[in-house]
Structures are given as structure tokens and as C-alpha cells.
Amino acid sequence: MEIRDLNRRKCFLPAALVIQALLIVMLSCTAPAEETLPSDLTKIPLDSVLGNGKPTLSEFGWRTCTPCKAMKPIMEEVAVQYKGRLNVVIVEIYEHDDLARRHSIRAIPTQIFFGKDGKELTRHEGYLSKERIQAILSLKELING
């Protein structure tokens, strides 16, 4: 066996291990289909979900607002956690200024919690953590369990 053949084998083994490790990492980071994030929450019309018999959490904001950007992943997590039991909607106020006026939005982000009947129960202005959202949902008895 020549020295060139030995050098090729020495290089091939580490490269194969690196590729195998990368594949394992990539596959382990993929979420199962039932836990994937919902499609864009800004595409869900608020008026259509307020009448469907489920409670609704709506956030009014704008994509360039820093606290609104921080709220988006929280809203997506809440949408996944309460899938089927809670409507979660993000309203871009400059695209839906009629909704912003109708709901008297004075600051962004503003989160409004609506009951099953579509009526506003409470609201919060500013950043709201996932834990606080969960506490409000429990306190207002919007979500059972």
C-alpha cells in the first residue's frame, strides 16, 4: 500500500464523521409536523375568528416596532400551545388602520383578549411575556387546562 492511499483513508474517515454528525444535528432540530408553527399569524382576519366560538388573543402592532418583533415568537408559541382552543392573531395596524381605530389602539404593541362571544375582556399595552399571557388566560378562564 502506498503512502498516498494511507493519507486518503486518514482524510476520508474524519470527513465522513463530520458529515454524519451534521446530519444527526439537522434531523434532531426538525420539529414534528403537529408542533410546527402556524402560518403567518398576520394573515388571519380578526373579524372572521371573533365569531367562531373560541376565545381570541389579538396583538396589534407593526413589523418594525422593536417590542412587536419581540412579541411575534411569543404569539407563535401561544398559538401552538393552545391550538384548537384559542385563536391567535397579529394585526398589522398600518395595513388595518380601520381595526386599530375600531379597537381604540393608542400604543403598540397592544394585546386584546376576547371572550368566546367576541367581546373584549381585557387588554394590555406594551411587551407581554408568555407567562403573563398564560396567567391572563387562566385568570379570565378563557382556556380550560
Q: Is the pLDDT of residue 143 over 80?
A: no
Which of the two residues, 6 and 68, has the higher pLDDT score? Answer: 68
**pLDDT score of 23:** 45
Catalytic residue among 44, 50, 68, 142: 68
Instruction: Clarify whether 65 is annotated catalytic.
Output: yes
Neighbouring-strand partners of residue 17: none
68 is catalytic: yes
Please state the pTM of the whole predicted model.
0.72
CB-CB contact of 116 with 54 (8 Å): yes
Peptide linkage before 73 cis (omega within 30 of 0): no
Give the tens place of pLDDT for each residue, 75-120. Answer: 999 999 999 999 999 999 999 999 999 999 999 999 999 999 999 9
Cell, residue 91: 394585526
Residue 145 clears pLDDT 70, i.e. is over it: no
Catalytic residue among 42, 62, 65, 67: 65
In this predicted structure, what is the pLDDT of residue 17? 52
Region for residue 58 given its phi and psi (left: phi exceeds 0; alpha: psi -120 to 50; beta: otherwise): beta
pLDDT in tens, 18-55: 555 544 545 444 444 444 445 689 999 999 999 899 99
C-alpha cell recorded at residue 46: 380578526
Residues in the chain: 145
